[in-house]
A and B are shown apart, each in its own frame.
Chain A
Amino acid sequence: MKNFSLIATLLACPGLLIAAEPHLAAQQPAPLQVIAITGAKLLTVSHGTIENGVLVRSWSTAKA
Chain B
Amino acid sequence: MTVYPGLIDPETNFGLTEISADQMGNDLVERSDEIMPHMHVADAFHSETELIPVARLNGITNAVVAPATDDSISGQDIFIQLYGRDRDDMILGRDVALAMNYGAEQRRRGGRGGGMGSYPSTRMGLITQLRQNFLDAQDYMAKRDAKKEDKSFKRDLKMDALIPYLKGERPVVIGVYEGYDVETIMHLAQEFHLKVILNHVTQSQEVLDKIASYHVPVIVGSIYDAPRANERFDAVYTLPAELAKRGVKIAISSADAGGPVSSHSSRNLPYAAGFAVAYGLPYDEALKAITLNVADMFGFGDKLGSLDVGKMANVVMANGDPLDVRTDVKQVYIQGVAVPMVSRQTRLRDEYSK
Q: How far is the CB of B168 from chain A (nearest CB, A)?
A: 26
How many residues of chain A get a CB closer than 8 Å to chain B's CBs? 27
A5 to chain B, nearest CB (A): 15
A39 to B338 alpha-carbon distance, docked (Å): 19
Closest to A11 in B: B313
Bound CA–CA A9/B2 (angstroms): 15
Task: Give B313-354 interface residues, CB cut-off 8 Å to A.
Answer: 313, 315, 317, 322, 331, 333, 335-338
Residue of B nearest to A53 (CB): B3
* Chain B count of residues within 8 A CB distance of the other chain: 28
Partner of A17, one of B5, B291, B292, B336: B336
Inter-chain contacts of B288 with A (CB < 8 A): 45
Q: Which of B5, B291, B308, B336 contacts A57 (CB 8 A)?
A: B336
Q: Which of A21-52 contact B (CB under 8 A)?
A: 21, 23, 37, 39-48
A11 touching B315, Cβ below 8 Å: yes
- Among B2, B308, B310, point to the contact of A41 (Cβ < 8 A): B2
**Count of CB-CB pairs between chains A and B under 8 Å:** 89
A48 contacts B306, C-beta separation under 8 Å: no
CB B347 to nearest CB in A, in angstroms, measures 21
B311 contacts A by Cβ under 8 Å: yes
Q: Tell me if A18 is interfacial: C-beta within 8 Å of chain B.
A: yes
Within 8 A of A (CB), among B1-40: 1-5
Q: Which residues of B contact A9 (CB under 8 A)?
A: 307-309
A59: contacting residue among B3, B333, B336, CB under 8 A = B336
Q: Which residue of A lies closest to B308 (CB)?
A: A46
Complex-state Cα separation, A48 to B282, whole angstroms: 13
Task: For the complex, give the distance between the alpha carbons of A21 and B305 in Å.
Answer: 24
Check if B145 is an interface residue, CB within 8 A of chain A.
no
Give min CB distance, B90 to chain A, whole Å. Answer: 14
B86 interface residue, CB < 8 Å from A?
no
Residue A10 CB within 8 A of the other chain = yes
- Tell me whether B335 and A45 are in contact (CB under 8 A): no
A17 to B333, CA, bound (A): 8
Query: Chain A contacts of B317 at CB under 8 A?
Result: 37, 40
User: A14's contact among B4, B336, B338, by CB below 8 Å, is which?
Assistant: B336
Indicate whether A16 reaches chain B with its CB closer than 8 angstroms: yes
The answer to whether A45 touches B338, judged by C-beta atoms less than 8 angstroms apart, is no
Chain A nearest CB from B139 CB (Å) reads 44
Q: List 6 A-B contacts (CB under 8 A).
A: A11-B310, A11-B315, A11-B336, A42-B307, A44-B308, A45-B307
Binding site for B on A (CB under 8 A): 9-18, 21, 23, 37, 39-48, 53, 55, 57, 59
Contacts A13-B312, A17-B338 supplied; 16 other A-B pairs, CB < 8 Å: A9-B309, A11-B311, A15-B335, A15-B336, A16-B336, A37-B317, A39-B1, A40-B317, A42-B307, A44-B5, A44-B306, A45-B305, A46-B305, A46-B306, A55-B315, A59-B336
